[in-house]
Amino acid sequence: MFTSIEQFENEWQVVSDETRKIFSALTDESLGQSVADDHRTLGRMAWHIVQTIPDMAARVGLQVEGPAEDTPVPASADEIKQAYDNAARTLAQQINANWNDETLEVEDDMYGETWKRGATLYILIKHEIHHRGQMTVLMRQAGLKVPGIYGPSKEEWTQYGMPEPKI
């Protein structure tokens, strides 16, 4: 749980930059990739990340620019990335303009539970990281190069002068 706005801002900058790396690797053709017919596509998963930001923000009284839950998944990877950039930026602006460290202790009804706002921000970040991990599997299946986030990806080891890990 975050106990200061500065903690959140620092972490949000890192996490949103990492998400932008993942979104930048997407192509329009890759958005339809799914692990199975009855599972989310890569595009739907990315769009879900985007839609969650304004949804969770609204539940804690913030006005974040972003698509509503019923907005269809765009056919353009660039449109998804732009929507993410907008939502991520306006979330940080709204928090900075409307909250202080004490606000992080305020409790809200979140999906039938009571969460402190500092916990809500922490969960928002963990939610995003969780779905990014799922996305990297679908990206591999779609033939995309996966960017390294918490260390080099398979293809990036050589950039560090090291051989790719043995499988």
Sequence spans of domains, the chain: 5-160
Its CATH architecture, for the domain 5-160, is Up-down Bundle (1.20)
Query: Of 100, 130, 128, which is closest to residue 7 (Cα–Cα)?
Result: 100
Model-level pTM? Answer: 0.94
Q: Is the pLDDT of residue 38 over 80?
A: yes
Average pLDDT over residues 53-81: 97
Specify the pLDDT at position 134. Answer: 95
Cα separation, 61 vs 58, whole angstroms: 5
Q: What angle (nearest 5°) sits at the alpha carbon of residue 132, between those of residues 54 and 137?
A: 145
Residue with tokens 């591999």: 140
Residue 109 three-state SS: strand
